[in-house]
């Protein structure tokens, strides 16, 4: 039997004005038990002190390469440039403001070696507020599996009926060949380009999931790319319409998925609007209103004087109207995590 070659791993890390954070992200990458074979940092024409900091990082490790864009082209274009320049059999698409946790690469790549048919492996991430450092829970909301497993395409097609946002880019390693064959990241999808691609890969080839321990820390900033999209009704709707067009044209996605995704997307935007400080009523009305009854109910609930009750009733109304995922699946994940925390399982950073 021919000897199987060891997987090689390229990390692609886009950076734009995150000079004060990128060093921590790279340090976490270099502290992995299974070191990446290369770390390609694509600086997207930063205007802060990023270039000086990146030069210091590059000179301290032979694994680091720095590519510079002559103009700001956005995170998707930066990632695509790094992917094109990469040489590894596997890819990790990193972020300058997040960081990986110990053991991630070794565990994930070993799992992919056992399941070579899978296009990717993903785990869970702890969320913290970028502004305060406050723990914000664990993602994904719904685990596709309660134990480490390979989920074949037919299982993914069935799961997608009840929920779909299981794959976090910052907690995933992807097979480069499969990523390129699937068409790579599509710039017109903006902040959803990675979500679209990873869903497609899972539907085509299946994926491996590792529910515990968490493999990454995701910092949520109010001015981050995804939150900026969510807080801008016009931009959010443009991304949604582009995604729906791709879903309809792409045979990898079930015919019914565009309807499910639209409902989940608008629920997610409305939920973020409700939880924003202050609450973003414009986005809530744009995303959460499906008919005249919704508008009347949401407008009335927004006038409740007690903020906690206002949010509780709004979220309940939105859930009942959109039904974004199966409640049983959500509760199962929530209770599993609570039991793990009570049992002292490592990696919990606050209430779910």
What pLDDT digit, counting tens, does each position of 168-225 carry?
999 999 999 999 999 999 999 999 999 999 999 999 999 999 998 999 999 988 777 7
Q: Where are the alpha helices (DSSP H) in 92-152?
A: 104-114
Determine, yes or no, domain membership for 176. Answer: no
Among 63, 98, 133, give the residue marking a domain's end: 98
The parent domain of residue 23 ranges over 9-98
Task: Compute the distance between CA of residue 223 and CA of residue 129 in angstroms, rounded to an integer.
Answer: 12
Determine, yes or no, domain membership for 202. Answer: no
The count of domains in the chain is: 2
Determine, yes or no, domain membership for 111. Answer: no
Determine, yes or no, domain membership for 309. Answer: yes
Determine, yes or no, domain membership for 173. Answer: no
Task: Compute the distance between CA of residue 60 and CA of residue 17 in angstroms, rounded to an integer.
Answer: 21
At residue 230, the pLDDT reads 72
Task: Compute the distance between CA of residue 184 and CA of residue 176 in angstroms, rounded to an integer.
Answer: 9
- Tell me if residue 263 falls in helix, strand or coil: helix
Q: What is the CATH number of the domain that holds 65?
A: 3.90.550.10
Task: Compute the distance between CA of residue 87 and CA of residue 12 in angstroms, rounded to an integer.
Answer: 11
Among 82, 98, 114, give the residue marking a domain's end: 98
The reported pTM is 0.92
Determine, yes or no, domain membership for 165. Answer: no
Task: Compute the distance between CA of residue 37 and CA of residue 332 in angstroms, rounded to an integer.
Answer: 38
Length of the chain: 352
Among 77, 98, 119, give the residue marking a domain's end: 98
Task: Compute the distance between CA of residue 239 and CA of residue 106 in angstroms, rounded to an integer.
Answer: 35
b/e string for 25-57 if b means 16 or more Cβ within 10 A? bbebbbebebbbbbbbbbbbebeeebbebbeeb
Return per-residue pLDDT of the chain as tens, 352 residues.
Answer: 445 678 999 999 999 999 999 999 999 999 999 999 999 999 999 999 999 999 999 999 999 999 999 999 999 999 999 999 999 999 999 999 999 999 999 999 999 999 999 999 999 999 999 888 899 999 999 999 999 999 999 999 999 999 999 999 999 999 999 999 999 999 999 999 999 999 999 999 999 999 989 999 999 887 777 777 777 878 888 999 999 999 999 999 999 999 999 999 999 999 999 998 889 998 899 999 999 999 999 999 999 999 999 999 999 999 999 999 999 989 999 999 988 888 876 554 444 4
Determine, yes or no, domain membership for 16. Answer: yes
At residue 3, the pLDDT reads 56
What pLDDT digit, counting tens, does each position of 118-144 carry?
999 999 999 999 888 899 999 999 999
Q: 19, 48 in Cβ contact below 8 A?
A: yes
Mean pLDDT for the chain overall: 93
Determine, yes or no, domain membership for 76. Answer: yes
Task: Compute the distance between CA of residue 118 and CA of residue 18 in angstroms, rounded to an integer.
Answer: 33
């Amino acid at each position: 039997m021919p000897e199987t070659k060891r997987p090689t791993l390229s990390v692609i890390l886009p950076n734009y004005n995150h000079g004060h954070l990128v060093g921590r992200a790279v340090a976490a990458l270099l502290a992995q038990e299974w070191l990446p074979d290369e770390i390609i940092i694509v600086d997207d024409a930063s205007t802060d002190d990023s270039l000086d900091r990146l030069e210091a990082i590059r000179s301290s490790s032979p694994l680091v390469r720095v590519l510079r864009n002559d103009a700001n082209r956005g995170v998707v274009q930066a990632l695509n440039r790094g992917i094109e320049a990469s040489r590894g059999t596997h890819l990790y698409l990193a972020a300058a403001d997040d960081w990986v946790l110990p053991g991630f690469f070794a565990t994930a790549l070993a799992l992919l070696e056992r399941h070579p048919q899978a296009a990717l492996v993903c785990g869970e991430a702890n969320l913290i507020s970028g502004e305060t450092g406050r723990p914000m829970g664990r993602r994904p909301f719904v685990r596709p599996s309660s134990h480490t497993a390979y989920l074949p395409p037919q299982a993914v097609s069935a799961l997608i009926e009840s929920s779909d946002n299981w794959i976090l880019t910052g907690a995933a390693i992807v097979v480069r060949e499969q990523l390129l064959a699937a068409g790579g990241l599509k710039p017109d999808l903006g902040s959803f380009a990675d979500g679209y691609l990873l869903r497609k890969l899972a539907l085509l080839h299946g994926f491996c999931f590792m529910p515990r321990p968490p493999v990454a820390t995701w910092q949520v900033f109010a001015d981050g790319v995804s939150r900026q999209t969510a807080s801008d009704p016009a931009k959010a709707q443009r991304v949604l319409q582009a995604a729906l067009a791709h879903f309809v044209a792409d045979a990898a996605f079930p015919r019914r998925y565009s309807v499910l995704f639209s409902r989940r997307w608008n629920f997610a935007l409305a939920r973020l609007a409700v939880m924003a400080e202050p609450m973003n009523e414009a986005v809530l009305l744009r995303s959460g209103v499906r008919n005249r009854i919704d508008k009347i109910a949401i407008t009335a609930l927004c006038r409740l004087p007690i903020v906690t009750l206002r949010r509780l009733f709004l979220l309940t109304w939105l859930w009942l109207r959109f039904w974004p995922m199966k409640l049983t699946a959500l509760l199962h994940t929530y209770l599993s995590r609570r039991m793990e925390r009570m049992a002292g399982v490592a990696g919990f950073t606050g209430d779910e």
